[in-house]
Structure 1
Amino acid sequence: MVERLFGRRPARHRRADGVPYRSRRCLPLHPAQVRDRRFRRTRLGRRGLDPGDVRRFLDRVALELADAQQAAERARQETAHIKDALRRWQSEQTRIRDRYALHR
């Protein structure tokens, strides 16, 4: 979306080890952090949010976040499995090609 608005990609800052930089305020959110979040009560005579509604919403967000993180982990494991199988296949193809080249 940024590209469409400004016609270029946003700058991606990276650390020396190549990992994208994230400030401490932008660390990955964990389900427990959402569940344990507490909101201040409103002052007497002021309007505020219903604590029960807030708690139910945070529980729902935490469940969805946990599901998303599990799906991402499954995808990472599947990717590693596929890469390993591809490496084995490429090695086998190289051995076959080399054997064929020797017999020519």
Structure 2
Amino acid sequence: MSLLPWQVRTQRFRAARFGRRGLDPGEVQAFMDRLATELAAHYDALRTARLETARLGCELRRLRAEQARRPNAGRH
């Protein structure tokens, strides 16, 4: 299953145990926000590409149907 932007934005990490070093929560959150923004952009681009593919498919079917209705269709 694909990781969605909201999943990255809402992901939380436990704090490091007392006496141990851990990651800076601000840096982790900043990275996750950046990642979520990039994922959102990729999902938007994918959605746009899919819509364009569907539009072109409809146009191709329309042109083929129009060509089939012409007299002498398919003859060269």
TM (norm. structure 2) is 0.92
Question: Residue by residue, what CA displacement relative to the aligned partner does 1:17-63 show, whole Å, maximum 9, x if unpaired?
Answer: xxxxxxxxxx1111110000000100111111000000000000000
Q: Could you tell me how far apart the structure 1 residues matched to 2:72 and 2:68 are?
A: 10
Which of 1 and 2 has higher RCO (CA within 8 Å, sep 6+)? 2
2:36 counterpart residue number: 62
1:84 counterpart residue number: 58
Gaps of 5+ in 2: none
> How many equivalent residue pairs?
73
Task: Report the identity percentage.
Answer: 52
2:72 counterpart residue number: 100
**Which of 25, 35, 39 is the aligned partner of 2:9?**
35
1:51 counterpart residue number: 25
Q: Could you tell me how far apart the structure 1 residues matched to 2:72 and 2:47 are?
A: 41
Q: Could you tell me how far apart the structure 2 residues matched to 1:85 and 1:71 are?
A: 21
Give how far 1:82 is off. 0.3
- Deviating above 6 A after TM superposition, structure 1's stretches of 4 or more consecutive aligned residues are none
Secondary structure at the aligned position of 2:53 is classed as helix
1:5 counterpart residue number: none
Q: Could you tell me how far apart the structure 2 residues matched to 1:38 and 1:85 are?
A: 46
TM (norm. structure 1) is 0.68
Which letter maps to 2:19? G
